[in-house]
Structure 1
Amino acid sequence: MSRFRSLLQASLNATKKALTWNLEDLVPPSERYIFKFDSKEELNRWHLYSDSEYGGLSSASLEIKESSDGSNSTGIFSGNLSLDVDEGSKWNMSRSGFCGMRTKRFDGFIDLESYDTLALKLKGDGRCYISTIYTENWVNSPGQQEDNSWQAFVFVPKDNWYIAKIPLARYLPTWRGNVIDAQLEMNPSRIVGMSLAVNAQGGVPGSWSGPGDFRVEVDWIKALRAQS
C-alpha cells in the first residue's frame, strides 16, 4: 500500500510540475523585438514615401549607419521638408511638407495582443514625429480597402538617445492623417504594418517645426508589457 501511495504521489508531483512548466511556457516575455535596424536586409522591409508623389518637393532617405568598431548598426531616416509644390503637378495638393518610412505589408500579421506599449529607441533633431500602427480593415468591402491607421506623436529630443514608450491605448484612429471622431478600439492581434513620419507643420508644444532638414536615428522598435 505504501508503494502505491509513493507512486501516486510521484505521479501527482510530475503532473504538477508539467502543468507549471506549460503555464510558464504560455506566458509571453515582457518585451518583444519587432524591428532591429542592424542590417541592410532589415531596411528591405521598409519603403519611403513623401509629398513628392503628389507634386511636393520634399525628399527622404533611409540607410544603415555602422558604429566605428562595427559592433552595432542603426537606421538613419533623414531628408528635407519643403512646403513648395511643383507648378506642373497634376495633383491639387491641400498640403505639402511630409515624409515617412513605412513597412512593406507583412506576410500575415504581427500579434501584439499580449502587450500594451510600443517602444522606440531614437536619437533625433528635436522634431515631433508620428508613429503609426496599421491594422486589418474592419470594413470588408470593395469600396474601402485601406488598412486602419492609428497614430501617436513621438517627440524626439535632439542629439541624445531616447526611448519613447507609447501605450497602445494612446494611438488614435485616423483617416488620411485626420483623427476620426468615433469610438473605435485597435485590434493589436491583427497588425499589418507600421510607419514613422514627419511633417513640416504641427506637433507637440516645444518641438521644432517648419521646413528644412530632418534626421532621426532608429535603433529598434519593441513591444512591451508595461502593466502586469
Structure 2
Amino acid sequence: MSLRTLTRAKPNFKIFQKPEFRTFQTILDFKNNPNSINEVITRSDKEIGGFSICKFVVDPKLKYGTFKGYLNLDLPQDNPTVTRSGYAMFRTKDQKESWITGESYWDWTSYDNLVLRVRGDARKYLVNVQANTPLITDLFQHRLYLNTPGNWETIVIPLSDFVMTNWGIVQNIEMDRSEIKTVGIGLVDKSYGPFKLDIDWIKVMTDEELYSYNT
C-alpha cells in the first residue's frame, strides 16, 4: 500500500504529525514496566576470549534490574593479539527501524539531563551513550559517581558533560542529541572481583522537570 493510498483510506491519519512535547522521556523503568528487561543486552570480554562473567536480571517481587557478575582481567592464552581484557557492560538494544524513515533514534534535543535511580557498590562504572557517529566504537561517556554505595541514589548527569571517546581516547566532538542510539553502563575499573549495580529507572529530563522532581 502506498502512502497516497494510506492517506486516502484514513484522511484523519497524520503521518508526519509533530510529537507532543514532554519534559521527560523514560529509557528503562523496571518498576512500572518489567518488560524493560527485553530491551537490555549484556556484553563482556568473553567476546575476545576473556573470562569475565556478567548478567542482567529483574527481581519479580521488588521490580528493579540488577547488573552483576565477576570481572576477570586474565588474558586468553590462545589469542596473543589480545593484550588487555577485563570489561563488562549492559546497554539498551538497537531501536527498531521505522518503515517510513528507516533507522530509528531517540531525539533528546529538548532534554538537558540523564537521570538514573541506582544502587551500587564501590566499583567504578561508566555511563555510555551511543549517538549516530561515523564510527560504531564512538561513545559519549561519563563516570557514574555514587555518593553512598549500598543505598539508592538519584544520579543526575548533564548531557553537556558527556565526553566522546573512541577506545578510551577523548575526541573533541559534541553529542548530536537528535540521533541517540543506545544507553548503557559499563565496568572497566581494571580490578578483579564481583560487582553489582541495581537499576530502578533511567530517564532524560529537562531542567524544569528535574527541578520539579527534586522539590
TM-score under structure 2 normalisation? 0.78
What SS is found at the alignment partner of 1:106? coil
AA at the equivalent of 1:109: Y
Paired positions, count: 183
Give the aligned partner of residue 66 of structure 1.
60
Displacement after TM superposition at 1:40 (Å): 5.2
> How far apart are the structure 1 equivalents of 2:181 and 2:19?
24
Give the aligned partner of residue 142 of structure 2.
152
Q: 8 Å contact 1:119–1:165 — kept in the other structure?
A: yes
AA at the equivalent of 1:110: W
1:161 equivalent to 2:157? Answer no
Displacement after TM superposition at 1:163 (Å): 0.9
Displacement after TM superposition at 1:155 (Å): 2.2
Q: Percent identity?
A: 27
Displacement after TM superposition at 1:27 (Å): 7.4
Q: 8 Å contact 1:51–1:99 — kept in the other structure?
A: yes
Give the aligned partner of residue 29 of structure 2.
36
CA offset digits 1:150-176 (Å, max 9, x no partner): 000002332100111000111001112
Give the aligned partner of residue 166 of structure 2.
175
What SS is found at the alignment partner of 1:44? helix
Give the aligned partner of residue 69 of structure 2.
79
CA offset digits 1:30-67 (Å, max 9, x no partner): 32222112455311212111111112111101101133
> How far apart are the structure 2 equivalents of 1:197 and 1:37?
19
Give the aligned partner of residue 134 of structure 1.
130
Alignment equivalent of 1:197, drawn from 181, 186, 190: 186
Q: 8 Å contact 1:135–1:147 — kept in the other structure?
A: no
Q: 8 Å contact 1:55–1:91 — kept in the other structure?
A: no
CA-atom RMSD in angstroms: 2.1
1:44 to 1:26, Cα distance in 2 relative to 1, 3 A: closer
> How far apart are the structure 2 equivalents of 1:153 and 1:73?
25
Displacement after TM superposition at 1:122 (Å): 0.4
After superposing the two structures, state which structure 1 stretch, 28-37 or 218-227, moved more: 28-37
Q: 8 Å contact 1:54–1:91 — kept in the other structure?
A: no
Alignment equivalent of 2:114, drawn from 112, 118, 133: 118
Alignment equivalent of 2:89, drawn from 94, 100, 125: 100
> How far apart are the structure 2 equivalents of 1:191 and 1:161?
27
1:199 to 1:160, Cα distance in 2 relative to 1, 3 A: same
Which runs of 5 or more residues in structure 2 are unaligned?
1-17, 97-103, 210-215
> How far apart are the structure 2 equivalents of 1:147 and 1:134?
9
After superposing the two structures, state which structure 1 stretch, 170-179 or 32-41, moved more: 32-41
Which runs of 5 or more residues in structure 1 are unaligned?
1-24, 202-209
TM-score under structure 1 normalisation? 0.74
What SS is found at the alignment partner of 2:51? coil
